[in-house]
Amino acid sequence: MAEVKEKETFVNPYVIQMDKFADSLMHLSKTFLTLEDYKGTFTKDEIEEMFLKITDKVCENCEKKEWCLGENRVHTYQMLYEILCAVEEYGAELNIELKRKLQKKCIMAPRFLRETLEVFENAKQILMWNNKIVQNREGYAVQLNSFAKMIQYTTRELDAGIFEDEHLEKRLKNQLKKCGVRMLSAVFYMTPQGKYEIHLTVKAMKGQLIATKEFAALVGNCVGRVMMPEQGERPIIGEEYCTVACVEGARYHTLQGVAKIGKGCEKISGDTFLMTDLPGGKKGIALSDGMGSGEEAFRESTMVVEMLEELLEAGFPVKTAVQMMNTALVIGREEVRFSTIDVSLFDLYSGTCEFVKAGASTTFIKRKDAVEKICSTTLPIGVLQDIEIDIVTKSLASGDYVIMVTDGIMDALPVGEQDALMSTFILDSNIVNPKEMAHHILGQVLEWTGEVPLDDMTILVVGMWKL
């Protein structure tokens, strides 16, 4: 995402209003980041508070209280500090020398030690929770800042892309009227890739119904471009006004297939995949491998894939979407539960594919007479607050295939030979149908291992062809 210029004047009142929203989110993000920071150790006041709690409980009825907490207070405090340092370094099992030293100085030594350990553990737990709150707050701050930048970027992109064309609008109105469609208004938009989007508020004349595909073809004839209804658009235009979005037709199309098997041939697999049409003429294919196998891993990877699908279909950039999911998995959890993310975004206008990986296995591109590999060394999402994401963009030719696999496939093959063997299995396959190719490759892997799968295995194959 390009950086947004801060001091720039916009005439469009909607842009100004969205800027105000974005500024408020950025201000809130900065406020979160200026609050209490991480604490690695206890302050002097906190240790003093622990000292008072311990002595109030232990020394209340002790005959040496006046001496230990009066003239000898410094040495008593030093004794407590030595115990705390020893516990922090070695745990509750103190060395014999320190225990003897405590017994010589305190007639209530066992109880003093017990109370010290209890108070210290409670204080340490509070310190850990406070640091967890700080970590969560930082995560929310990063998300707010990313969201604010996305609002600014998207608003400017829309504002820059919308244009007026009175001549084209008049021509559309007259042409559609001849075909039984009454047009109320039109919005023309040019995408950053130079493709047309036309949003028309229309209705069919009395007693008529117009198929949306036919309507898009009429619009295309008027503008001199191949137009089609936007994904998910209504199929029929009736006698009530509705807004229909027509987009420029893509130059490529994809077909995809999947083959999978659970650990030990179980029916439930911890691998989950996604295949969906996205805004801007893109096709999204995603594969997630949850930690472990079976039902629990399936629930985790399913949650990740469903969250990713929702964010991508809403128009979030894929990197932002993955970062937001990572924060959602990290914050608010005591235990670490991770999932890999492997995304392939096919641009059906340009014929390129963007590969986004977080802890995912190697992806293979089968070209006419070679196999290309895309590797990653990043961690899965859900492990660390700050995550690295590998992003690579490749141009694809008509008839190329993208093969995505989970760890179970690669780990089943001998270490050091995995990529070479997979490349051989893929290159030797002359199958055109992606689903059949996926099953063929999985069969080759299982035949090579000659044993029941030791982990969930999934293979996704996507072929792309020019229209």
User: Which of 284-297 are b and which e, b meaning 16 or more Cβ less than 10 Å from the residue's Cβ?
Assistant: bbbbbbbbebbeeb
pLDDT of residue 132: 75
pLDDT of residue 30: 77
Question: What tokens were used for 340?
Answer: 């890999």
Do domains 166-248 and 252-466 share one topology? The answer is no
SS3 labels along 371-389:
EEEECCCCCCECCCCCCCC
- Whether 9 has a pLDDT exceeding 60, the answer reads no
Backbone angles phi, psi at 363, to 5 degrees: -105, 140
First to last CA, the chain: 30
pLDDT averaged over the chain?
Answer: 81
- Whether 174 has a pLDDT exceeding 70, the answer reads yes
How confident is the model over 213-255, as pLDDT tens digits? 999 999 999 888 888 888 778 899 988 999 999 988 888 999 9
| Domain residue ranges of the chain, discontinuous segments joined by + | 1-160, 166-248, 252-466
Integer Cα distance of 42 and 180 in angstroms? 78
pLDDT of residue 354: 94
Query: 406 with 287: CB under 8 angstroms?
Result: yes
How confident is the model over 85-118, as pLDDT tens digits? 777 766 656 666 677 777 777 777 777 777 778 8
- Whether 7 has a pLDDT exceeding 70, the answer reads no
* Domain 252-466 superfamily per CATH: PPM-type phosphatase domain (3.60.40.10)
- Model confidence at 2, pLDDT cuts 50, 70, 90, reads very low
The fold for domain 166-248 equals Threonyl-tRNA Synthetase; Chain A, domain 2 (3.30.980)
Between residues 15 and 163, the one the model is more confident about: 163
